[in-house]
Amino acid sequence: MEVVEKGLNQLFMDPDPDKAREFFAKKSRSMTDKRMTEKEAVEKFVPNGCFLAIGGFGAIRIPTAFIHEILRARRKNLGFYGHTSTHDFQLLCAGRCIDRVDIAYVVGLEARGLSPNARRVMESGEVQVCEWTNYALTARLRAAAEGVSFGIIRSMLGTDTLKMSGARVIECPYTGKKFAAVPAVWPDVGIIHVHEADIYGNCHIRGISVSDLELARAAKHVIITAERLVDNAAIRINPTRTVIPYYLVDAVIEVPFGSYPGNMPYLYYSDEEHLSRWLQAEKDPEEFKRFLDQYIYGVASFEEYLERCGGLAKMRELQRLEALVDR
Amino acid sequence: MEVVEKGLNQLFMDPDPDKAREFFAKKSRSMTDKRMTEKEAVEKFVPNGCFLAIGGFGAIRIPTAFIHEILRARRKNLGFYGHTSTHDFQLLCAGRCIDRVDIAYVVGLEARGLSPNARRVMESGEVQVCEWTNYALTARLRAAAEGVSFGIIRSMLGTDTLKMSGARVIECPYTGKKFAAVPAVWPDVGIIHVHEADIYGNCHIRGISVSDLELARAAKHVIITAERLVDNAAIRINPTRTVIPYYLVDAVIEVPFGSYPGNMPYLYYSDEEHLSRWLQAEKDPEEFKRFLDQYIYGVASFEEYLERCGGLAKMRELQRLEALVDR
Amino acid sequence: MTTEYNMMELMICVASRYLEDGKTVAVGTGAPCATAMLAQKMAAPNLVILFEAGGIAPMLPQMPISVGDSRTFFRGIMAAGMAEMMTTCCRGLVDYAFLGGAQIDRYGNINSTVIGDYYKPKVRFPGSGGANDFASLCWRTLVMTVHSKSRFVEKLDFVTTPGYLTGKGAREEAGLPPGSGPYKIITDLAVLDFEDKTKAMRIESVHPGVAVDKVRKETGFQLIVQEMVEETPPPTETELEILRDEVDPLRLIIGRS
Amino acid sequence: MTTEYNMMELMICVASRYLEDGKTVAVGTGAPCATAMLAQKMAAPNLVILFEAGGIAPMLPQMPISVGDSRTFFRGIMAAGMAEMMTTCCRGLVDYAFLGGAQIDRYGNINSTVIGDYYKPKVRFPGSGGANDFASLCWRTLVMTVHSKSRFVEKLDFVTTPGYLTGKGAREEAGLPPGSGPYKIITDLAVLDFEDKTKAMRIESVHPGVAVDKVRKETGFQLIVQEMVEETPPPTETELEILRDEVDPLRLIIGRS
């Protein structure tokens, strides 16, 4: 198939659907209890050097607790799928965990500004980069979820974003029109925070799904952190609500307030005060080191982190904010 | 883009996404009351010769009431998207409404057997045909829903199904592997029966969605028949449940038992006795004519059809069957 | 004394033994569904049943009439749609496809489209439905069909659904996923599989009281026959009991023969 | 006497007038969102607001902090996902994209990726996010940015998001949907549009008390200036009242300048 134009950057993952099929052929389909701790799941599914994708939207419905554990486990040379990432990317940069990134959105925290530390990391030239757009990264996961090697979109065309990507411009076999072909990506591990899951991994999500349905189907290993566990009967009574079926899932971890300081739709709002303390602390590397020791490396568990951030009182406050009781 | 192999049959619809964009550019985005009668909707959106696609799964969650109206309006030369069609196709053949069909599954009624009348129609050679598979027809709608001119799948390859289709075999620009490229299709009108809708067209569906989410996004005009209408507040209170947003919808028709004699998940089971009477009646063209007069042409409304089929007592029976109270 | 059973009961019991525990199977309605249900109640309690319209792992309260009716997702773990099902197959997560068949040839290709000329057919059948998709995308295709010369033919009027196409390597050449293809054909006379060297149909075992020549006689093409042909173990008391009492008490399927 | 207003209030009020009633707009957080909210409360009550993460037509209770936070689908008509949003844009159902900008050139191309060398940048910005997608797929792109030589440059360090690329016809040549592209650029000094013949940036109107030369001086490339340049009508009392009291009472956005 004739390629009209080719992005200059290399792909971090192989888009061959048959290699993915070989992997999924061996993946268990049995409904078994998949509960484990963050520690066990990092140990088992997040080796140094693996390629990581995180669900949610940067500071909304993110698996904060699990990312903290990746930092405490001192993981290095991870690849990262930088779609709509904000605080999640900020965390991985804080731990210096990554050495290559597919970029649609990184470094920034939307209206909150840019992360000084993430900028230092990205401007150091030590991290391998490849440019994309938010939709392109969703489309790459979707292609993988469909079990094919590429998908076509009408974004990126004519820009340096395409030039510095791994995309290829092709012509439609019916209309001759140009499209950007984006390669399927099967991340080694996808980590998704949800509202409810059963012990097998069947999941409910309330509110926007962002790209998580595609990610759950593309990732070779899927780790679910859930606000609460529910009985399997709660899944089966309304199968229309299931958005991630258990056979995609490798680990289930119950983590109340697991998206803090991010927003968890319908449950609690983001802690903007804590997030701006992050940006503040990052300005001075020395102070930032102390900050990280205080909040991540110096704590044994996520519960302890929550305590240091204000504990139950703070959580209650964020719940009221989310419920629009306090504005 | 090099085409390795080409299906021999012609496409009934233009896969140009820019022509579709021109149409959708003009489509209203305002939330207005879209309620109308079946008659008005057929008049307005189903002219002779237009290309039709029907939601549901043949005899599950189908817009029976609306199809009856198409017959009563004596529509002719319609194109039909024959994905997973059973009783819906049987009805359109009964009315001799169609002259061209994209075929994945027609003529049959699954375990119930083949429709003698639909066979007569299809074996007459008067209907233009093009062969596909169920997934290929879903993928064609999905490509349209994505606003692109084609999608790629790994079905159809190597078979006469591909040879007698409009698909084209291409090679992946990354792996060189062969895929079947299937052309996007934007049906002129898509008719979908749902559980609940508001007067603007925001819809809830319970149970399997089959290909209806893709269809609602691909069809130029979308007609919704709903078991019941709900207030817009019932949509907004839980936006996660919305599967079809109002701006895709052109007409909303409230039709209780609208899928009868088909199954409506969670509400009523299919009337197998009535469906086998259909197959029985079709054997003899003369008797079938009388049968159609009795049940479709001779009735003024769908309510009257329901009455002739046993009315409320029959509906109650099918509700109990669905609820597994009577087996 | 041996237990009494009819042809359909025989086929279902024999076929059910090929569905391993902990695997996924995409089934059509009728016999394939009954077979999967029997397997679940016998050796494969963790067999995951999928329906093309979107039903995943239901607690089937009774035999569905359609692959899309509400039974196919009754207390299921998910009620999805066609795309979810087919993409799950394409990703390599579905182990078995279980199909019925009209016409079949030596390489396990199936015709369910037309008899006679395509544009003016003697008989118009439904077409592929999801059969071509499942047989293309799932790892192993099982087919259940009555054994007769009119069904086991030298040349299909129409190749609706891919078996091994023209023989070894042809699927891969066409672009179908490597390692997939027909696995077992279960008929009322025998179980057939495919020889590795050629991917041509071979007798794996003949059913009790059926002679190899009878199978040959009812097959419209040359079958591969090994020196020693085993006899299919007949349905057990338990298999028949569960099939009759729990799987198909209304005899919707097993009452057919 | 004229009403007092700051630069941000001016830009938001002026920009909001370009959003027609009954149209769809994809917005980012901050000023674009405030602008759409103001438009809804003024002349465009039926303006449909979409957020890239999946929020559709919310009854925004307050300014969202993120384009994905729970406010973006509060009492919305649908809480979908990224693919739903972007495919809706690609089908031609979204009339406006409303973006902010770092660097912009004469054809409305935007840089939000890097300053300096791509592989070892002086400044690494977030990248496209959804901006390239929106500007590629929506019909009309509006950009709101502060007017300065450092932002309005002759040559971008990186073309993140497509405007008219190299001029008339270039978008179509690249494969972008015909009829789409930049519509208005709203700055603190002027409103700019694009000349049909060349698709190059042109002064549409200058804000009250701003001289055309001032606009020229703050622009790093040759602007097209018509003989008669209109003055932008200033924010009205009502616009400012609603913006301050209802849209942004906490002055999260309008407090910035």
Residue of A12, A172, A177 to mutate when probing chain B, most B C-beta within 10 A: A172
pLDDT of amino acid B1? 64
Which of B84, B125, B157 is nearest residue C136 as measured by Cβ atoms? Answer: B157
A175 Cβ under 8 Å from any chain B Cβ: yes
* Residues of D whose CB is below 8 A from B236: 59, 75-77
Q: Which residues of B149-170 are buried (b: 16+ CB within 10 A; e: fewer)?
A: bbbbbbbbbbbbbbbbbbbbbb
DSSP for A125-184, please give it.
T-SEEEE--HHHHHHHHHHHHTTSSEEEESSSTTSHHHHTSS-EEEE-TTT--EEEEEE-
* Residues of B whose CB is below 8 A from C252: 111
pLDDT mean across residues, chain D? 96
* Residues of D whose CB is below 8 A from B232: 77
Contact D171, D211 (CB under 8 A): no
Nearest chain C Cα distance for residue A18, angstroms: 7
* Residues of D whose CB is below 8 A from B246: 77
Is the pLDDT reported for residue D2 higher than 60? no
| D38 burial via Cβ count (<10 Å: 0-12, 13-18, 19+) | buried
Q: Is D246 in the active site?
A: no
User: Residue A222's CB: how many other CB atoms inside 10 A?
Assistant: 29
Contact C24, C93 (CB under 8 A): yes
DSSP for B232-251, please give it.
HHHHHT-GGG-SB-GGG-SE
pLDDT of amino acid D106? 98
Cβ–Cβ below 8 Å for B147 and D89: yes
* Residues of A whose CB is below 8 A from D75: none
Express each pLDDT in A156-192 by its tens digit. Answer: 999 999 999 999 999 999 999 999 999 999 999 999 9
Q: What is the mean pLDDT of residues A129-153?
A: 98
Cβ–Cβ below 8 Å for D177 and B21: yes
Nearest chain B Cα distance for residue C213, angstroms: 31
pLDDT of amino acid A134? 98
Tell whether omega for the bond before A261 is within 30 degrees of 0, i.e. cis: yes
CA angle B66, B70, B75 (to 5 degrees): 165
d(CA B319, CA B264): 9
Nearest chain B Cα distance for residue D238, angstroms: 25
B226 Cβ under 8 Å from any chain A Cβ: no
* Residues of B whose CB is below 8 A from D95: 25, 29
Residue A2: band (very low, low, confident or very high) from pLDDT cuts 50, 70, 90: confident
A116 Cβ under 8 Å from any chain C Cβ: no
d(CA A266, CA A61): 11
pLDDT of amino acid C243? 97
Cβ–Cβ below 8 Å for D70 and A177: no
> For chains A and D, what is the number of CB pairs under 8 angstroms?
201
Active-site residues of C: which are they? 52
B228 Cβ under 8 Å from any chain C Cβ: no
Which of B147, B148, B245 is nearest residue D77 as measured by Cβ atoms? Answer: B245
> For chains B and D, what is the number of CB pairs under 8 angstroms?
80
Residue B144: band (very low, low, confident or very high) from pLDDT cuts 50, 70, 90: very high
* Residues of D whose CB is below 8 A from B237: 75
Alpha-helix residue ranges (DSSP H) falling in B27-172:
38-45, 64-72, 87-94, 116-123, 134-145, 160-163
A323 Cβ under 8 Å from any chain B Cβ: no
Q: What is the mean pLDDT of residues D77-89?
A: 98
Q: What is the mean pLDDT of residues A231-249?
A: 98
User: A residues 196-225 near D, CB within 8 Å?
Assistant: 206-214
- Distances from the Cα of C219 to the Cα of C165, C224, C233, D206, D214, angstroms: 18, 11, 22, 87, 91
Q: What percent of chain A clears pLDDT 70, i.e. is strictly above it? A: 99
* Residues of A whose CB is below 8 A from C90: 17, 146-148
Tell whether omega for the bond before B261 is within 30 degrees of 0, i.e. cis: yes
Express each pLDDT in C66-112 by its tens digit. Answer: 999 999 999 999 999 999 999 999 999 999 999 987 799 999 999 99
Is the pLDDT reported for residue A1 higher than 90? no
Could you report the predicted ipTM of this complex, rounded to two decimals?
A: 0.98
To the nearest 10 degrees (0 to 180), the angle between helices A285-292 and A272-282 is: 130
> For chains A and B, what is the number of CB pairs under 8 angstroms?
86
Residue B164: band (very low, low, confident or very high) from pLDDT cuts 50, 70, 90: very high
Residue of D51, D52, D63, D65 to mutate when probing chain A, most A C-beta within 10 A: D65
Q: Which chains does B contact via 3+ CB–CB distances below 8 A?
A: A, C, D
> What's the Rg (C-alpha) of chain C?
18
User: Residue B306's CB: how many other CB atoms inside 10 A?
Assistant: 22
Express each pLDDT in B203-251 by its tens digit. Answer: 999 999 999 999 999 999 999 999 999 999 999 999 999 999 999 999 9
Q: Which two tokens stand for residue A38?
A: 């963050």
Length of chain D: 257
d(CA A132, CA A102): 7
Q: What percent of chain A clears pLDDT 90, i.e. is strictly above it? A: 97
pLDDT of amino acid B66? 98
**D61: Cβ contacts below 8 Å, ≥ 6 apart:** A324, A327, D71, D74
Cβ–Cβ below 8 Å for B172 and A205: no
Nearest chain A Cα distance for residue C84, angstroms: 8
pLDDT mean across residues, chain C? 96
CA C39: distance to chain centroid? Answer: 14
d(CA D103, CA D109): 8
d(CA D78, CA B204): 11
* Residues of B whose CB is below 8 A from D22: 28-30
Nearest chain A Cα distance for residue D99, angstroms: 12
d(CA B83, CA B139): 11
Chains A and B touch (3+ CB pairs under 8 A): yes
Residue A327: band (very low, low, confident or very high) from pLDDT cuts 50, 70, 90: low
**A317: Cβ contacts below 8 Å, ≥ 6 apart:** A310, A326
B241 Cβ under 8 Å from any chain C Cβ: no
B300 Cβ under 8 Å from any chain A Cβ: no
Is the pLDDT reported for residue C3 higher than 90? no
Cβ–Cβ below 8 Å for B60 and C53: yes
A167 Cβ under 8 Å from any chain D Cβ: no
Cβ–Cβ below 8 Å for D75 and B237: yes
Cβ–Cβ below 8 Å for A236 and C75: yes
Which of C24, C75, C83 is nearest residue A29 as measured by Cβ atoms? Answer: C24
pLDDT of amino acid D1? 42
pLDDT mean across residues, chain A? 97
Is the pLDDT reported for residue C2 higher than 60? no
For residue B103, what is the nearest residue in chain C, using CA coordinates? Answer: C127
Residue of B214, B247, B249 to mutate when probing chain D, most D C-beta within 10 A: B247
Q: What is the mean pLDDT of residues B177-196?
A: 98
Nearest chain A Cα distance for residue C20, angstroms: 12
Output B175-178 pairs: Cβ under 8 A, ≥24 positions apart. B175/A15, B175/A16, B175/A17, B175/A149, B177/A16, B177/A17, B177/A18, B177/A149, B177/C175, B178/B4, B178/C174, B178/C175
Contact A217, A145 (CB under 8 A): yes
Q: D255 phi and psi, to 5 degrees?
A: -80, -10
Q: Which residues of B16-39 are buried (b: 16+ CB within 10 A; e: fewer)?
A: bbbebbeebbeeebebeebbbebe
Cβ–Cβ below 8 Å for A239 and C75: yes
User: B residues 17-36 near C, CB within 8 Å?
Assistant: none
Express each pLDDT in B86-128 by its tens digit. Answer: 999 999 999 999 999 999 999 999 989 999 999 999 999 999 9
Which of C103, B150, B44 lies closest to A150, judged by CA? B150
Residue type, C34: A
Residue type, A106: V
Nearest chain C Cα distance for residue B40, angstroms: 31
Q: Which chains does C contact via 3+ CB–CB distances below 8 A?
A: A, B
Which of A199, A204, A211, A286 lies closest to A237, judged by CA? A204
d(CA A185, CA D175): 24
Contact B308, B297 (CB under 8 A): no
Q: Which two tokens stand for residue A63?
A: 């698996």
d(CA B101, CA B109): 17
